Homo-oligomer: A and B are copies of this chain.
Amino acid sequence: MNFSIKGVHTAIVTPFDKDGNLDWDSFEKLLDHQAKGKVDGVVISGTTGESPTLTVQEKLALIRKARAYLPESIQVMAGAGSNNTQASVEMAKLAVDAGADSLLVVTPPYNKPSLNGLKLHFSSIATATNHPICLYHVPGRTGQLLSAAELAELCAIEQVVAVKEASADISLFSRAERISQANYLSGDDFTFLGSLAVEGDGVISVVTNIYPQAFRVLYDAFKAGDNPKAARIHKALLPAIEVLFYESNPGPSKAILANKGLCQNYFRAPMVPVSQESYAHIMNVVEDTERALSDLGVEV
């Protein structure tokens, strides 16, 4: 399939207002922030986007808005995964109609199908849409760890053009990438730079919600052969990457974005704002990180 997913993508948060409705003003600000950061793509209604508590209509509205608002050069990927194949097929078709350039499809969480079941799931969505799919492998959330060989088998489906590999195991990442017909993007900000060294193709990131420019510069530097520069940015970002999981994601991300005026600090249950103690810690890390990034000439 002639569609390539690579570079820096942001699994964007979904902004809510105090009544729990979608906050469109903030969404525009967040998209502006991404466009200014020159990311290659955004992911709508991923995990960081609180997809479990969005309705289908809301997801489609977000996709439409993102596609209409962003320049064409920025891809819009839409979360369409679930542990129900029929529901995923329907969501995928609607997402394509709404303008999504590609689909993010997680291996079914919780019910953890057999390999035959996984093949059926991905091929059903692929056949129904004939649209580019990014398979999402995140065993820490789904409860299912696939082997390199199993990942490669799923990548044999033509429409599976990319994998968001979030096992945080760079050995698995590399062994799977080697034998798969698909791009491999890191789904774990900690291992992004390491994954580039083993021919990873990019990242679907949480930290770029806040610092898109940082991973933009890191990625471009690495691709230009300037690994030392990439490594300096990586190290400057490490504390921020860590703090984004200080409480359940996207708690810390939204706290920071709200502090910057890019969204409001509201969530849909079961997600909640971080505690006051966590908040203070998070903001200290942010301050240190931004000083370190500024010292490296990265805009924050």
Contact = CB atoms under 8 A, between A and B. Distances in A.
The 7 A-B pairs of least Cβ separation, nearest first, read A194-B194, A85-B269, A171-B190, A197-B197, A121-B270, A113-B270, A52-B83
A297 interface: no
B272 A120 contact: yes
24 contacts: A47-B110, A52-B84, A53-B84, A85-B269, A86-B268, A108-B270, A109-B109, A111-B270, A113-B248, A114-B248, A114-B272, A114-B275, A117-B248, A118-B270, A121-B270, A124-B269, A143-B143, A170-B191, A175-B190, A194-B194, A194-B195, A197-B222, A197-B227, A197-B231
Interface in A49-82: 50, 52-53, 82
A193 B188 contact: no
B197 A108 contact: no
Contacts of A47: 110-111
Interface stretch (A21-29, A234-242, A254-262): A234-242
Query: Which of A198, A238, A268 gathers the greatest number of chain B CB atoms within 10 Å?
Result: A198
A117 B269 contact: yes
Interface residues of A, number: 65
Contacts of A226: 225
A251 interface: yes
Contact of A271 (B117, B169, B190, B248): B117
Interface of A: 47, 50, 52-53, 82-87, 108-114, 116-118, 120-121, 124, 139-143, 168-171, 174-175, 178, 188, 190-191, 193-199, 222, 225-227, 230-231, 234-235, 238, 242, 247-248, 251, 268-272, 274-275
A224 to B, nearest CB: 9
A65 B226 CA distance: 41
B85 A270 contact: yes
B197 A196 contact: yes
A108 B47 CA distance: 13
Contacts of A116: 272, 275
A139 B197 CA distance: 25
Nearest to A246: B114
Contacts of A110: 47, 52, 109-110, 141-142
